[in-house]
Amino acid sequence: MPCYNVADTLPAVLHAVDQLDPTPARFLCVDDGSTDGTRDILRSHDSAELIEHDTNSGLGVTMNTALSHTETSLFAKIDADIVVPADWLTNMLAAYEESDSALVQGRFIEQETTRADQWRAKYPSPHFPVEPRRNKPINGGGILAETEALRAIEGYDEQFRRAFDDIDLMERLIEAGYDIYYDPSVCATHIRTDTVREVLHTEWAYQNDPRTISKPTSLTDVIDRIPYHFDKSARYIYRDCRERKPARLGLSLLRFPALVAYDLAHVHSTSWSRFGSTSSESTVDQPWENQD
């Protein structure tokens, strides 16, 4: 389990893992430089094997740390804001055996506590199909994989700091000749609670998949991205109006100016870094917080 500043959700997730049947051979928790008490919770939890990063390094690095400490033939991963049912591992193992795949993937449902959570469930959250499927990766959800298959493709790509790490991993497995399998019957619950600012930042992060699009580095880049941001925001607004969802509509109206503002902030911060800043990370490109 990768962890970064998840003290609010961690106790419920740890309790759920303790209820798993069968019990995992080892429960590795890699803390990626948390500052909110996450490490104290992990240190006090008997079943968790804590591995600590001195500084925040991102999801790809964190998952490779876990993989390097794995001694079993199978490797399961859940996020620190995902509560799994007691039969989650049983069902994942069954899907693995029946599908004859190197990796199996489940899904999650959103626990909608705030207005921002309701918007996230409709838009940034992954949309999981209701039917099983093979060799079509989905961003998000817990996985169970053959350890040697992951090592054969050199593990996780460390350019992925916040998201898309799992989907990139699955795509590279397929390219290497392995099968992956999605089983919608294996379900968990996402218990993250967002503010409006947090969910809009998540949406911005999801528009910057390093496989397909680069973050803006100049004002020209920001201008070039405006039609894309506007078009997608307009489609969100149309859908909210058609479905008569005024609570969602408010955030959809904020989406366009928020994403342009994040683009501008990213350009500003990276520009300053070229003129003497020692920080290699944009102030807008905040560290990951289990955003898969």
pLDDT at 290: 55
pLDDT at 209: 77
Best mean pLDDT range from 138-142, 145-149, 243-247: 145-149
d(CA 211, CA 246): 34
Report the mean per-residue pLDDT for the chain.
91
Tell me whether residue 262 is exposed, middle or buried, using C-beta atoms within 10 angstroms of its C-beta: 0 to 12, 13 to 18, 19 or more. buried
Q: Kindly report, residue by residue over 152-167, the tens digit of the pLDDT.
A: 999 999 998 888 899 9
DSSP-assigned letter for residue 12:
H
Domain boundaries, the chain: 2-190, 196-273
Average pLDDT over residues 110-137: 94
Q: Which CATH number is 2-190 given? A: 3.90.550.10
**Long-range contacts (CB closer than 8 Å, 24 or more residues apart) made by 217-222:** 217/267, 217/270, 218/267, 219/267, 221/263, 221/267, 222/260, 222/263, 222/264, 222/267
pLDDT at 285: 47
Weakest mean pLDDT among 55-64, 113-122, 204-213: 204-213
Higher pLDDT, 13 or 279: 13
pLDDT at 272: 60
Q: Kindly report, residue by residue over 42-72, the tens digit of the pLDDT.
A: 999 999 999 999 999 999 999 999 999 999 9
**28 near 80, Cβ under 8 Å?**
no
d(CA 275, CA 107): 44
pLDDT at 280 over 50: no
d(CA 173, CA 152): 9
Q: Kindly report, residue by residue over 188-204, the tens digit of the pLDDT.
A: 999 999 999 999 999 99
Q: Side chain identity at 269, as an amino acid letter?
A: S
Best mean pLDDT range from 124-133, 159-168, 281-290: 124-133
Average pLDDT over residues 18-34: 96
Q: What's the order of all strands across the beta sheet hosting 28-32? A: 2-3, 28-32, 49-53
Least Cα distance to 161 among 263, 55, 18, 245 occurs for 55
pLDDT at 212: 75
d(CA 245, CA 278): 45
Query: Strands 180-190, 82-83: parallel, antiparallel or unpaired by DSSP?
Result: antiparallel
pLDDT at 278 over 60: no
pLDDT at 245: 93
Q: What percent of the chain has pLDDT over 90?
A: 82
pLDDT at 275: 47
d(CA 183, CA 189): 15
pLDDT at 195: 94
d(CA 158, CA 59): 7
pTM recorded for the entire structure: 0.86
**81 near 190, Cβ under 8 Å?**
yes
Average pLDDT over residues 244-258: 95
pLDDT at 145: 98
Average pLDDT over residues 73-100: 97
